[in-house]
């Protein structure tokens, strides 16, 4: 259904750009708009990952000289290649944002080789100099900083000392979030543990609800998650009367009592920077990363259950993060199998590439990556 609609809309856009081209011939001063394409893996209004991008796209639509084309619910298969091709060929897009993790390799790289004049920027992938084409790149936010702050709020609130994390797949970004959340909580009380449950995919509503319920049954009293739409986890936890930390977007409306704080994206910062570069005729950055300091991520406002003490503690760490000097992964950190993953005396700054290929769960996390 959505396909027919997008083709209809595309047809319209082709007509419109055709008309624009004609107009251009008559009026040399008229500027051709910069067409930017967004591709989402799920619905745009999922209270989560896709919504965070779509909200930023909505802001871009208001910029003069920018036209945004969007397509949602595109699977991580050859389907995304077709979407990219039609955005380029029919809509005249010159900057594409395929936002889902699985779009990067091989789909986006293949299309980038086919259309060298188009800029491709992928969210979350690990772009490597020399290995990946120059017209591609990746951007991502150090949202683990906000996860660390979530962890402080969660660790200060829990009574059982047991936290829960509903995760989709054991990929580096997810593991980094789980680990940062746990480190934040253990900075409050080193005895705290985080139970992780993997559901196996980005959107599995029934499994997410089951995972949350089985955590509640084990006495866990604060849960958070890394799935595409945290709505189910947050609502299930709120109904059971336990606390939650949000992810991707602000979910405080879903859990007015139990919502502590949340890790939110602030993609408009990244996208506006990219578009400014394109307008100046430059290629946007190939490897763009940033955390709280760069404004790529932000924490949600504290919920009513967060004590004044916890707020002070989290705010102090946040202030340190804003100076850019705070390191989450440092000094003799062990994984939950007892292996040393960060040697003593070593500090990994947030930009450390090793952190982007994280494949372990740290001490204090109950769970396994396979």
Partner 1 sequence: MSDGELGIWGVPLAMLAGAIRVSTPFLFVSIGECLTERSGRINLGLEGTLVMGAMSAYGVALGTDSPWLGVLVAAGVGLLLGALHAAICQLPRVNDIATGIGLMLFATGLAFFLGKPFIQPKAPNLGAIDLGWWSDIPQVRQALQVNYLFILGVVLAFALAWALRNTRWGLIVRLAGESVDAALAIGASVGRVRLIATSIGGAFAGVGGAFLSLYYPGSWNEGLSSGQGLMAVALVIFARWDPIRCLWASLLFGAAGAISPALQSIGVTQGYYLFSAAPYVLTLALMIATCSPARSLRGAPGELGAVK
Nearer to partner 1 among residue 265 and residue 326 (C-beta): 265
Candidates 122-130, 133-141, 190-198, 305-313 — which segment interacts with partner 1 by CB under 8 A? 190-198
- Which region, judged by CB under 8 A, interacts with partner 1, from 106-114, 174-182, 199-207, 337-345? 199-207
Binding flag, residue 27, partner 1 (CB under 8 A): no
Whether residue 299 contacts residue 149, with contact meaning beta carbons closer than 8 Å, is answered with yes
If the CB atoms of residues 112 and 174 are measured against partner 1, the closer one turns out to be 174
Does 307 engage in binding with partner 1 (CB under 8 A)? no
240 near partner 1 (CB under 8 A):
yes
What backbone torsions phi and psi does residue 333 show, to the nearest 5 degrees? -90, 130
Measure Cα distances from 180 to 68, 184, 196, 257, 333 in Å.
34, 6, 13, 24, 12
How many whole angstroms from its chain centre is CA 263? Answer: 9
Determine, following the binding rule CB under 8 A, whether residue 254 of this chain makes contact with partner 1.
Answer: yes
Comparison of 66 and 167: residue with beta carbon closer to partner 1: 167
* 52 is a site residue for partner 1 (CB under 8 A): no
Query: Do the strands 119-123 and 95-98 form a parallel or antiparallel pair, or are they unpaired?
Result: parallel
**Rg (alpha carbons) of the chain, rounded to whole number:** 21
With tokens 């292996």, the residue in question is 339
Q: Which of 99, 100, 177, 236 binds partner 1 (CB under 8 A)?
A: 236
When asked if residue 1 is in the footprint of partner 1 (CB under 8 A), the reply is yes
Q: Which two tokens stand for residue 216?
A: 């509640």
Identified binder of partner 1 from the candidate list 86, 229, 244, 286, rule CB under 8 A: 229
Neighbouring residues of 47: CB distance < 8 A, sequence distance ≥ 6 = 229, 230, 231, 248, 249, 251, 254
Report the distance separating Cα 263 and Cα 185, nearest Å.
15
Contact 242, 258 (CB under 8 A): yes
Q: Does residue 6 belong to the site contacting partner 1 (CB under 8 A)?
A: no
The verdict on 218 binding partner 1 (CB under 8 A) reads: yes
Instruction: Restricting to residues 107-166, name those near partner 1 by CB under 8 A.
Output: 160
Nearest CB to partner 1, comparing residues 258 and 290? 258
Return the range that interacts with partner 1 (CB under 8 A); candidates 84-92, 140-148, 191-199, 295-303: 191-199
Q: Does 47 bind partner 1 (CB under 8 A)?
A: yes
What is the H or E stretch that residue 95 is in?
A: strand 95-98
* Residue number, 125 or 303, with CB nearest to partner 1: 303
Q: Does 226 bind partner 1 (CB under 8 A)?
A: no
Residue 38: both structure tokens together: 């967004």
Q: Which of 52, 57, 123, 211 binds partner 1 (CB under 8 A)?
A: 211
Should residue 20 be labelled a site residue for partner 1 when binding is judged by CB under 8 A? no
In degrees and rounded to multiples of 5, residue 123 shows phi and psi of: -90, 115
- 199 lies in the binding site for partner 1 (CB under 8 A): yes
Q: How much of the chain is in helix, strand and coil states, percent to nearest 5? A: 40, 20, 40
- By the rule CB under 8 A, 232 interacts with partner 1: yes
* Per CB under 8 A, 45 contacts partner 1: yes
Q: How far apart are CA 367 and CA 218, in angstroms?
A: 14
Question: In the structure encoding, which two tokens stand for residue 358, read together?
Answer: 């994280």
Tell me which residue of 340, 335, 360, 368 sits closest to 175, measured CA to CA.
360
| By the rule CB under 8 A, 174 interacts with partner 1 | no
223 vs 321, beta carbon nearer partner 1: 223
Q: How far apart are CA 349 and CA 285, in angstroms?
A: 20
- Name which of 17, 179, 192 is nearest 93 in CA terms: 17
Min dist CB 352 to partner 1, Å, is 27
306 lines the binding site for partner 1 (CB under 8 A): no
Which positions lie near partner 1, rule CB under 8 A? 1-2, 42-43, 45-47, 73, 160, 195-200, 203-211, 213-219, 229, 231-232, 235-236, 239-240, 253-254, 366-368, 370
């Amino acid at each position: 259904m959505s396909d027919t609609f997008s083709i209809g809309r595309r047809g319209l856009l082709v007509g419109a750009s055709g008309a624009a081209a004609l107009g251009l011939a008559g009026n040399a001063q008229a500027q051709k708009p910069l067409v930017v394409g967004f591709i989402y893996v799920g619905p745009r209004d999922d209270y989560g990952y896709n919504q965070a991008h779509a909200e930023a796209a909505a802001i871009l639509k208001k910029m003069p000289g920018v036209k945004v084309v969007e397509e949602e619910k595109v699977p991580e298969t050859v389907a995304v290649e077709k979407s990219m091709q039609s955005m380029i060929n029919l809509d005249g897009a010159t900057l594409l944002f395929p936002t889902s993790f699985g779009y990067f390799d091989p789909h986006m790289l293949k299309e980038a080789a086919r259309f060298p004049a188009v800029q491709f920027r992928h969210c979350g992938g690990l772009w490597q100099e020399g290995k990946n084409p120059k017209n591609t790149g990746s951007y991502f936010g150090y949202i683990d900083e906000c996860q660390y702050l979530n962890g402080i709020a969660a660790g200060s609130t829990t009574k059982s000392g047991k936290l829960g994390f509903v995760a989709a797949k054991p990929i580096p970004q997810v593991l980094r979030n789980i680990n940062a959340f746990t480190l934040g909580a253990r900075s409050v009380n080193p005895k705290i543990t985080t139970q992780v449950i993997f559901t196996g995919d980005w959107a599995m509503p029934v499994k997410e609800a089951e995972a949350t319920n089985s955590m509640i049954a084990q006495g866990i009293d604060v849960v958070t998650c890394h799935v595409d739409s945290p709505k189910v986890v947050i609502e299930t936890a709120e109904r059971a009367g336990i606390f939650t930390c949000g992810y991707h977007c602000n979910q405080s409306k879903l859990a007015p009592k139990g919502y502590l704080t949340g890790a939110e994206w602030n993609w408009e910062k990244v996208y506006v920077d990219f578009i400014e570069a394109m307008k100046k005729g430059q290629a946007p950055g190939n490897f763009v990363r940033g955390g709280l300091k760069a404004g790529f991520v932000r924490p949600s406002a504290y919920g009513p259950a967060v004590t004044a003490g916890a707020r002070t503690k989290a705010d102090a760490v946040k202030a340190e993060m804003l100076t850019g000097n705070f390191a989450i992964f440092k000094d003799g950190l062990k994984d939950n199998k007892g292996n040393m993953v960060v040697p003593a005396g070593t500090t990994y700054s947030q930009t450390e590439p090793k952190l982007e290929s994280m494949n372990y769960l740290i001490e204090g996390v109950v769970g396994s990556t396979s």
